[in-house]
Chain A
Amino acid sequence: MLLSDLLRSRVRDADGRDVGKVADVRLVQDGPYVEGFGHALRVEALVVGRAGLGVRLGYHRKPVEGPLLVRRIFAALERRARYLEWRDVTDWDGETITTRRRSGDLGPPPP
């Protein structure tokens, strides 16, 4: 399995509706200990939808400075992106990710 496959995949919710394409993947370093690296990086969640472009470009991060207009546009986009925790994923066939959640219940990504 490759990260690029995950980033190409589309997400379907519990009702079979298309939520969008995976825009970015959030990793957390809390996995089993790997000699030479430390704790492994675990896939914690996905940012889904075209609005996730702002996340991919890094404008959601607090320390990132930028022109006010650009920041406001991407902040508005990020609020429309959907944040799906990996524990709510029921299936991934390499192209489509299925979740037990409904798209309306998914919130925006964390800052």
Chain B
Amino acid sequence: MEARHLWAGLQLLDRQLLDRDGDMAGKVDDVELASDPDTGSLYVSAVLSGPGALAGRFGWRRLSPWLRYVHRRVTPLDTDPTRVPLRYVADIGDHVTLSLERSQVGSESTERWVRDHLIGHIPGASHAPE
């Protein structure tokens, strides 16, 4: 069987991420590549999603690591919330399906932090709209 081919810019970047329950979990903002020192081949090692990854894509080289650092500090996860290793990517099609919950993905953790620490402190934020 012939191996599957993909155009990275066309079929991977900016695609919608869905978590294992089918809920939206951000977009593919960049893709991490790793080189095999023996063969010189480059492989996709992770999908990046979140404000820090997007800043890097726009060439903001100083802003990107700073945003990723802040992002790590404000999320309860032990790992870099921006980075989704390839082993957690279940499928690549019209969208990219992950085998994670969206709470484990960078974009969602930023949204949750803003809700809990900023929006939640605005008077009336805890009341449902009438």
User: Residues of A with Cβ closer than 8 Å to B?
Assistant: 1-4, 6-8, 23-32, 34-37, 39-44, 55-58, 86-87
Flag if B8 contacts A25 (CB, 8 Å): yes
Q: Which among A27, A30, A44 has the greatest number of chain B C-beta atoms within 10 A? A: A27
Least distance between A52 CB and chain B CB atoms (Å)? 9
Residues of B contacting A32 in the complex (Cβ-Cβ under 8 angstroms): 43
The size of the chain B interface, using a CB distance under 8 A, is 32
Knowing A36-B88, A40-B44, A43-B41 touch, does A30 contact B32 (C-beta < 8 A)?
A: no
Least distance between B106 CB and chain A CB atoms (Å)? 15
Q: In the bound complex, how far is the Cα of B8 from the Cα of A3, in angstroms?
A: 8
Q: In the bound complex, how far is the Cα of B31 from the Cα of A41, in angstroms?
A: 11
B34 an interface residue at 8 Å Cβ cutoff?
yes
Q: In the bound complex, how far is the Cα of B85 from the Cα of A35, in angstroms?
A: 11
Flag if B56 contacts A2 (CB, 8 Å): yes
Contact of A86 among B5, B31, B41 (CB under 8 A): B41
Q: What 7 pairs across the A-B complex have the smallest Cβ distances?
A: A3-B31, A43-B42, A30-B3, A41-B44, A4-B57, A25-B8, A36-B87
